[in-house]
Amino acid sequence: MASNASSTFSRLTILLIICLPLTSSIDFNYPAVFNFGDSNSDTGNLVAGLGAELDLPNGQNYFQKPSGRFCDGRLIIDFLMDAMDLPFLNPYLESVGAPIFRNGCNFAVAGSTIRSATASSFNPFSFGIQMAQFLRFKAKVQDLQAKSTKFPKYIPARDYFQKALYMFDIGQNDLAGGFYFNTLDQILAGIPQILSEFEDGIKKLYDQGARNFWIHNTGPLGCLPEMIVKFGTDPSKLDGLGCVSSHNQASKLFNLQLHALLKKLQGKYQDANVTYVDIFTIKSNLIANYSRYGFKHTLMTCCGYGGPPSNYDSGIACGQTKVFNGSSVTAKGCNDSKKYVNWDGTHYSEAANQYVASEILTGKYSDPPLR
């Protein structure tokens, strides 16, 4: 009887997380949002920019088709846009369908890093390139405004660039990629340079009139099935949650130094709002206490191949079909993604994203704290 009651409670918790609208204790009052980042907030730039394809079951739960998001549905940024009563952000690189940028634009691209891209990078759209794209976007908008009054439905109003919220969720790939080529000490030693490049981008935006900055720190990298499969085969490398200790150590140091940088910028740009959001703590709490929030699996991929304990194989992405050892295999989705924290080995499920967004909106994981 107790087991049945617990199971019923878990199902109800999941339904409440997914079905109820997010309530916000934060007064989000911005006319537009400009977002910069990686796959944690990419709403279609990689797909548009490189002609890449995402297959079902990506997008199955909300969009009923692949939407350019590495998820079964919505991302954290989608839920935050809902909380601001603004439409989902269109990707900057999407040219088909007369995309509307009235309330902002998304420059985030899956696989992007803060550091400049190299020949071995996943894509060329580093943070510096995203900054350059924004500057071109702004200049083009201002040019159109000067020439015609025909475009108010499609482009931000002149004063939106100063009043907008500038959001950032980037840096995870700088750390994750580093572990394939460098030691932990080398990765930790490189963090100041990574953040120096990030600071340069913030300064460019500030000089352009941006005054509202919203920065997510990086999550527990070592708890992604992709990292556990690659770097966690030795149990001594894992922590008490089953996550790769070295990767989470790097995430923590990155976040510590990012926080210090933003405290500095809070003092330097006193006419600006610089908000640090502790995503690491929110996601770590979810992973440690997943059953409390209605989840059943935390370190196993919903959409993958290979079966327990991780159901992840780096050779076959979610939705793909490939020939392994003479047999055709498909990385299929699980029966109920709402029970999984992780979607495809690297990215979180829609249910997990909505939980994270709901915690962000309490304001208690922000510095300065939000009311």
Q: How many CA atoms lie within 13 A of 235 on its CB side?
A: 1
pLDDT of the residue at 26: 58
Residues of the chain scoring pLDDT < 70: 1-27, 371
Distances (CA, A) of 123 to 108, 166, 168: 12, 22, 18
The predicted pLDDT at position 27 comes to: 65
CA distance 17 to 37: 25
**What is the reported pLDDT for 2?**
44
**Given 39, 246, 349, 366, the catalytic residue:** 39
- The yes-or-no answer on residue 347 being catalytic is yes
Is 296 in contact with 235 (CB distance < 8 Å)? Answer: no
> What's the CA angle centered on 260, arms 167 and 275, to 5 degrees?
30
* pLDDT at site 9: 42
Residue 353 is predicted with a pLDDT of 98
Q: What is the pLDDT of residue 17?
A: 42
pTM of the model: 0.91
* Contact in structure between 48 and 321 (CB atoms under 8 Å): no
What pLDDT does 73 receive? 97
In the set 216, 284, 344, 366, the catalytic residue is 344
- Give me the catalytic one of 72, 174, 347, 349: 347
In this structure, are strands 366-367 and 273-277 parallel, antiparallel, or unpaired?
antiparallel
Residue reference for tokens 């977002």: 35
Interval 99-109: pLDDT, tens: 899 999 999 99
Q: What integer pLDDT is reported at residue 149 of this predicted model? A: 83
Cα atoms found within 13 Å of the Cα of residue 130, Cβ hemisphere only: 37
Residue 53 pLDDT:
87
Q: What's the pLDDT at 370? A: 80
Q: What is the pLDDT of residue 228?
A: 98
Look at residue 14 in the predicted model and tell me its pLDDT: 45
User: What's residue 261's pLDDT?
Assistant: 98
Give the Å distances, CA to CA, from 93 to 47, 234, 263: 9, 42, 33
78 counts as catalytic: no
Active site residue 344: yes
Find the angle CA(47)-CA(49)-CA(52) to the nearest 5 degrees.
Answer: 35
Instruction: Give the per-residue pLDDT at 3.
Output: 44
CA 358, CA 341: separation in Å to the nearest integer? 15
